[in-house]
Every structure is written in C-alpha cells, then in structure tokens.
C-alpha cells in the first residue's frame, strides 16, 4: 500500500516523500476509511494533504469545511494548479458558476474531487438537497473539518456556525470524518470530538514543545529606547551583521494599525526595511507588502493578527510581539510561525503592564457587552478572560516558558534545556520582574 500511496503523492502533488511519519500514518488510516480521525499538528505540518491525497484517490467527493473564504480560495487555487478538480460554493460565487457546480454534483458521476464550503453554507437551503443527494448515492468519500478548534467555545476562534457541523455529521452516517487543527488544549480537543460527534476517533496529536524556538519576555517600559532594542533583536535574529547570506525574515505583531505604522517606520529609520500590514491599508498595498515579504524583498513585516492565517514561510527567524496576544493559545499559534524549517528561531514578547491593563479592560468590556446582549454569562466569555490571564501569567511569572505552554495544552513538561530566558538565566528574569515592580509603585 505504501508504494501506491507514494505513487499517488508523486503523481498528484509532485512530492517524493511524506513530510513526516505522522502525515503518512494519518493518510494511511484515512485511506482505509473505517475510522474517524482527529489531527492536531502545528501550522505548516501539512495537514491539508491528510485529506487531499485520500480525496483524489477515492471514488467520490470529499466535503471540506473551512472557516474563511480567503483560506478556501487559496486551497482551491492551489489544487486547480495541480490539475485536481476542486471548487468552492460560497456566498460570493456568481449564480452561473454555482449552478454549474450543482449540476456536476447532481450528475451520475461527478468530476469534482474536493468541495470546499464555509460552515455557514452547510445549513443553506440550496445546498442541503445537494448534500443529501450525494450521501444517499454513496458519493461522499470523506468529511474534513479544517480549523476544527473553531467548534469549541473554549477555543480562541470560536465560530457559532461550527456547531452546526455536529448535526451535519449526524446526517452523514458511514462517511468517515476528519477533524484538523493546529492548536487544541485538552479541553478543546474533547469539545471537538464531542461536538463533531466523532466516533471513537484515532487521534494524532503532535506534542506542542518545539525545541528550536527560543522564548523570552522583555519588559518594554524598562527600556530606555524600545525601538532600538527591537532593532538589535532583529539584527541578531537575522544575523544581519554576521555577513551570512542565509536569507531569513521576521514578523512583529502589533495590536493596532497605528502601532504597526509606528514600529515599521521606526525600524526602517534605524536601518532594517519593515512594512506595515493591517486592515487600514488599501487592499492593493496590503497584498504588495505581503508579497514583498514573502519574496524576501522586505525582511520584516509589522502586522496585526489578520496577518498569518494561511501564510506559510519556512525561514521566519523571529516573531516579536509588541503587544500581548489575546490568549496563550493565540500566542502559541502566532509565535509558532517562527522556525518552521526547524532551525533555531526566536519568539519574544515586549511586555508592558500598561498595555496589559488596556487589553484587560477591552476584553472585559467586550465580554460585558456580549453578556448584556444575552443576559447571561457563557462559557466562552469566561474562557476569553481565563485565556488572557494565562497570557499575562506567561509574561509575569518565574518559570520555564516552554513548560507553561506545554502545561496549558495539557502536555507533560518538556526538557527546555535553555530554550527560554528563564531556563537560561532565572536570576535575570527575577531581576527584571523586580525592576518592573519598582516602576509600578512609582
């Protein structure tokens, strides 16, 4: 079987090998088709292939649920460029194209291999009959739910529409279901399995610990010149002064558009070309900045969190957070965009207690607003607050940063061996906290 799989991998995707043993194992189980599967692997690990390869090898059609039209578009374009019959039905699709697709799906032997839809579409009246028809004719090979953490109220990206998927799954008995995500603490994993009504799924969960990432936290307000400090960090991370020709790049995350503009401007002034990326830019400029960064013409992109979903670049040598992430799970995902090639990379937070207070205020205000609308406190609201508190503790505690992350995700304590500031120099971490405490009481 392995040779047949490898053959198909080469023929359809042009890859000589599986990216990892896990990827191969998942594909094997999926192709067998008798089990539901839960996959939790880091971004960039090649989760899509886990359903795409089985999909092209199967007789029928694979239904893929993905949360964003932009993500879907990227995947569909990519598959089309490989000559794989893929398409998407979504609210933006012209009526003519939609009826062509529905006609193919209604035919006795549809040409389509992968059909991507958003969770909102699942419940749509135009799509329902089509789906039921496919299922009753035995033409559905697999149901793949990408970014499956969105189903959980405990997750950092909860999408109410994902809750409809459990019911969908219930109506497709006999169709093997795959749930895929990059970040899922234990409680979220359990939620996903339960909400999607997976039947004793086989789980493939990569440990969260990544030894090539070095984590540290710098208190921004203790610095005489924060921008210069960031600049020095970038220089070191990209080895700009060592004359090496290793082409690396990096990401600085900021919470606000103004923040992005300021940091990008300051860095460029200091001598490293940095460009902003945020929703306030004209779409053309935003795409251009992203492309320039992808191509290595711009070394540093200074972005709001809208940047990164679906961005896959191997040589990201650092991810710096100028502001806190909204949860520890988000932070793990955002910082995890560093070092996908396995080479040593740095993840740094420029922590500011003032900034923390502001975010704390905003998060609690948002939660209060939602509760007022609904009249009751929901699990998701509590999660927003506890997840942010976990992010703050990560910065303000004297403990191994990797251990904190692993513990948060329910993994056992990893052997950090100096891959974080605390393990490298606990005294320095304590000294910084003490200086910050003095500053606060002033």
**Interacting residue ranges for ligand ADP, rule: CB under 6 A:** 15, 18-19, 41, 43-49, 312
Handedness of CA 146, 182, 388, 339 (dihedral sign): negative
Choice between 22 and 299, CB closer to ligand ADP: 22
Partner whose footprint covers residue 400, from Mg ion, ligand ADP, Zn ion, none (CB < 5 to 8 Å by kind): Zn ion
Say how many CA atoms lie within 13 Å of 283 toward its Cβ.
Answer: 0
- Restricted to residues 42-101, the positions that interact with Mg ion (CB under 5 A) are 47
- Compute the least distance from the CB of residue 101 to Mg ion, in Å: 23
Query: What is each CA distance from 226 to 223, 241, 249, in whole angstroms?
Result: 5, 20, 20
- The CA dihedral of 393, 399, 405, 407, to the nearest 10 degrees, is -100
Choice between 183 and 304, CB closer to ligand ADP: 183
Cα separation of 163 and 380, whole Å? 13
How many residues bind Mg ion (CB under 5 A)? The answer is 1
Site string for Mg ion, 34-53 (x = CB under 5 A): -------------x------
Which three-class secondary structure string do you get for 88-137?
Answer: EECCCCCHHHHHHHHHHHHCCCCCCCEEEECHHHHCCCCHHHHHHHHHHC
- Compute the least distance from the CB of residue 28 to Mg ion, in Å: 20
DSSP 8-class letter at 414:
P
Choice between 249 and 359, CB closer to ligand ADP: 249
- Compute the least distance from the CB of residue 215 to Zn ion, in Å: 7
Partner whose footprint covers residue 158, from Zn ion, Mg ion, ligand ADP, none (CB < 5 to 8 Å by kind): none
In the complex, which residues of this chain contact Zn ion (CB under 5 A)? 400, 402, 416, 420, 423
Would you say 322 and 274 are in contact if contact means Cβ atoms under 8 Å apart? no
Partner whose footprint covers residue 416, from Zn ion, Mg ion, ligand ADP, none (CB < 5 to 8 Å by kind): Zn ion
Cα separation of 288 and 250, whole Å? 17
Partner whose footprint covers residue 18, from Zn ion, Mg ion, ligand ADP, none (CB < 5 to 8 Å by kind): ligand ADP
- Compute the least distance from the CB of residue 401 to ligand ADP, in Å: 23
DSSP 8-class letter at 413:
P
List residues near Mg ion by CB under 5 A: 47
């Amino acid at each position: 079987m392995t040779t047949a799989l490898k053959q198909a991998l080469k023929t359809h995707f042009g890859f000589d090998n599986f990216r990892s043993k896990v990827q191969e194992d998942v594909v094997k189980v999926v192709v067998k088709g008798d089990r539901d599967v839960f996959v939790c692997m880091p971004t960039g690990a090649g989760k899509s292939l886990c359903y795409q390869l089985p999909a092209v090898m199967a007789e029928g059609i694979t239904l893929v649920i993905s949360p964003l039209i932009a993500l879907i578009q990227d995947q569909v374009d990519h598959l089309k460029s490989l000559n794989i019959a893929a398409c998407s039905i979504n609210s933006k699709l012209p009526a003519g194209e939609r009826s062509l697709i529905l006609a193919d799906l209604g035919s006795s032997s549809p040409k389509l291999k992968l059909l991507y839809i958003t969770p909102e579409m699942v419940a749509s009246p135009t799509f329902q009959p089509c789906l039921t028809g496919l299922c009753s004719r035995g033409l559905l090979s697999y149901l793949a739910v990408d970014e499956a953490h969105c189903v959980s109220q405990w997750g950092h990206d909860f999408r109410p529409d994902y809750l409809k998927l459990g019911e969908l799954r219930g109506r497709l008995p006999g169709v093997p279901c795959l749930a895929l995500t990059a970040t899922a603490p234990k409680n979220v994993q359990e939620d996903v399995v339960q909400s999607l009504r997976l039947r004793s799924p086989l789980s493939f969960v990569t440990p969260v610990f990544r030894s090539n990432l070095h984590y540290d936290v710098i208190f921004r307000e203790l610095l005489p010149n924060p921008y210069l400090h960031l600049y020095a960090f970038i220089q070191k991370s990209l080895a700009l002064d060592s004359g090496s020709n290793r082409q690396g790049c990096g990401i600085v995350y900021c919470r606000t558009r103004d923040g992005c503009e300021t940091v990008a401007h300051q860095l460029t002034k200091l001598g490293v070309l940095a460009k902003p990326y945020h929703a306030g830019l004209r779409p053309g400029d935003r795409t251009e900045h992203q492309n320039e960064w992808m191509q290595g013409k711009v070394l540093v992109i200074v972005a709001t969190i809208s940047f990164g979903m679906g961005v896959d670049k191997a040589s990201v040598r650092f991810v710096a957070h100028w502001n806190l992430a909204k949860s520890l799970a988000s932070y793990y995902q955002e910082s995890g965009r560093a070092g996908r090639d396995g080479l040593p990379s740095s993840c740094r937070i420029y922590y500011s207690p003032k900034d923390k207070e502001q975010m704390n205020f905003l998060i609690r205000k948002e939660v209060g607003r939602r509760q007022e609308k609904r009249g009751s406190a929901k699990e998701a609201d509590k999660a927003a607050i506890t997840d942010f508190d976990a992010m703050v503790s990560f910065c303000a505690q004297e403990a191994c940063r990797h251990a904190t992350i692993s513990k948060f995700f329910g993994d056992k304590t990893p052997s950090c061996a100096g891959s974080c500031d605390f393990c490298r120099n606990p005294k320095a971490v304590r000294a910084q906290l003490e200086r910050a405490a003095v500053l606060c009481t002033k």
